[in-house]
Amino acid sequence: MSRVDRSLRGAAAIVGVADDVSPTGELDRFGRDLEVAMVLDALEDAGLTLADVDGVCHPESAVGFAEYLGVHPTFVESTMTGGSSYEVHVEHAAAAIAAGVCDVVVSVYAATPRSDRTQGRRREWRRPSGPNPMAEWDLPYGLRTPMGPYALAAARHMYEFGTTSEQLAQIAVSTRQWAALNPRARYRDPITIEDVLASPLQVSPLHLLDCCLVTDGAGAFVMTSAERARSLPKPPVFVLGAATCTDHMVIGQMPDLPTTPGAVSGPRAFEMAGLEPSDVDVLMGYDSFTITALLHLEDLGFCKKGEGGPFVADGHLGPGGSLAMNTNGGGLSFTHPGMYGMFLITEATRQLRGEGGDRQVAGAEVAVAHGSGMFLSVMSTAVLGTEATL
C-alpha cells in the first residue's frame, strides 16, 4: 500500500476546543489548575466527559498528566517540538484514532510566563539531557533565542530576495487589524508600518513589533473518530491532511535559511487532503515573528519562494483581503505564551464552525493550522475542513 493509500483523510475530527487568554496578558490560574480547566471545558464543548478519554497528549509528560486526571489512556503522546507540538499532536492523534489505538484524545497546554514574573513564581525549566550541541557551539556567541535564529533567516531572505523591513512590517500591521476584531486580544489598537520600523531594534533586522508577545495562555482540544464525531453536538472539524518535517534543531544546521521544513510538511499535508493553497479560506500560520509567517506563505505554496515580500505588501492578509491569515490576531497581537500552536487549532476550529464572531470569515470550509517549532526547526501542517469538504 502506498503512503497516499494509507491517508488519514477524514478519519478523525476535532470535536471540542477551549482556550483562556486575557487582554491583560495575565491569567489568575496556572499550572495543573489551568490545564484541568481547559480539558474539562474542551470536553464539555465536545459533549464528552473524562470517562470517554482514552488518549492523552501533553508535551511534557502525558503519563503524569493522565495520572493527575485519573484516566487510564491507551494512547499517550508527549512529543515536544516546541510551538508546533499541538499540530503534531493532531497528526498523531488522527493516526492513532484511525489505527484503532484509541477513540477520544485530549491535548492540553497551559503556560503563564507573564504572571509567573509578576507574581514571582519560580518557573520549572528542564535542562536538556545528554550532549548539547547548542551549549558547545552556539551559546558562547550570544545569539538571543528564540529571536536570533529568526533574525538570521530574515537577514538571509533579504539578501537573496530583496525582502524589506517594510514588507515584514506589513505582516504585523495586517495581523493587528485582525486583533482589533478580537475582544480577547492583548493588543487591538491599529499600528502602521512606520510604527513597526520605529519600534526598537532587537536582533536586527527584527524590531520589537516584528516579534510575538509574551503572555499567559492555555487551551485544549478533543479529537475522536469521524463516525463518533457525527454523533456529537458541534459540527466536526475533520483532519483532511497532516504532515510534519524537521531538518535541524540548532540554526547552524539548517540547510537553507530561507526555506523551512514546511516546504515538505505543507505539500504533503495538502496532498493528503487533495487540496491546494488556493482552496484555503483561513490560514493560521504560526507568527512567532513576522519573518516566520512570511516563510510559511512561501513554503506552503501561497506564493513562490522569494516572493513573500511583494505578496504581503499589498495588505491582502488582513480583514476583507484575499487571504485571511491569523484571524485571532496571531502571536503578534493576540497571545503568545511560548508554544502558541494550540491557538492555531482552537481558532481554525472556531472559524470552521462559524463561531468567529466579528472576525468570522464568511463561509469558511478549509483552514490550515501550520505550526513552527523551536528555531524554524519543526514544521507541522494540519489541513482541516468541514463536513462539506469530505
Partner 1 sequence: MSTAEASPSRFEPPVGVEGKAFWEATREGRLLVQWCTSCDRGVFYPRVFCPHCAAGAGALEWRDASGRATVYAAVVEHRPEAAGAKFSGGQPYCVALVDLEEGVRMLTNVVGCPPDDVHCGMAVGVTWEPLSDGRRLPLFEPVGGSDGRGDGGAAS
Q: Does 168 bind partner 1 (CB under 8 A)?
A: no
Is the CB of 165 or the CB of 351 nearer to partner 1? 165
Give the span between the Cα atoms of 242 and 265, in whole angstroms. Answer: 8
Q: Is the peptide bond before 258 cis (omega within 30 degrees of 0)?
A: no
Give the span between the Cα atoms of 124 and 340, in whole angstroms. Answer: 18
Selected from 7, 61, 164, 202, the binder of partner 1 by CB under 8 A is 202
Q: Does 32 bind partner 1 (CB under 8 A)?
A: no
Write down how long the chain is. Answer: 390
Q: What are phi and psi of 249, to 5 degrees?
A: -120, -55
Q: How far is CA 45 from CA 57, 147, 327, in A?
A: 18, 36, 21
Selected from 148, 217, 318, 338, the binder of partner 1 by CB under 8 A is 148
Q: Which residues pair with 19 in a beta bridge?
A: 219
Q: Does 212 bind partner 1 (CB under 8 A)?
A: no
Q: List binders of partner 1 among 251-280 (CB under 8 A).
A: 251-253, 257
Shortest approach of partner 1 to residue 200 CB, angstroms?
Answer: 7
Is the CB of 151 or the CB of 366 nearer to partner 1? 151
Shortest approach of partner 1 to residue 289 CB, angstroms?
Answer: 12
Binding region for partner 1 (CB under 8 A) out of 50-58, 103-111, 140-148, 237-245: 140-148
Q: Which grid coordinates are listed for 359?
A: 472576525
Binding region for partner 1 (CB under 8 A) out of 98-106, 132-140, 272-280, 334-342: 132-140
Selected from 201, 231, 358, 388, the binder of partner 1 by CB under 8 A is 201
Q: Does 100 bind partner 1 (CB under 8 A)?
A: no
Q: Does 144 bind partner 1 (CB under 8 A)?
A: yes
Q: List binders of partner 1 among 286-345 (CB under 8 A).
A: none
Give the span between the Cα atoms of 352 and 364, in whole angstroms. Answer: 6
Binding mask 41-80 for partner 1 (x = CB under 8 A): ----------------------------------------
CB 46 within 8 A of CB 15: yes
Q: Does 88 bind partner 1 (CB under 8 A)?
A: no
b/e per residue, 192-230, with b = 16+ CB within 10 A?
Answer: ebebbbebeebbebbbebbbbbebbbbbbbbbbbbebbe
Q: Does 120 bind partner 1 (CB under 8 A)?
A: no
Q: Is the peptide bond before 146 cis (omega within 30 degrees of 0)?
A: yes
Count of chain residues binding partner 1 (CB under 8 A): 31
Q: For residue 388, give the DSSP letter.
A: G
Q: Does 156 bind partner 1 (CB under 8 A)?
A: yes
Q: Which residues pair with 320 in a beta bridge?
A: none
Shortest approach of partner 1 to residue 130 CB, angstroms?
Answer: 10
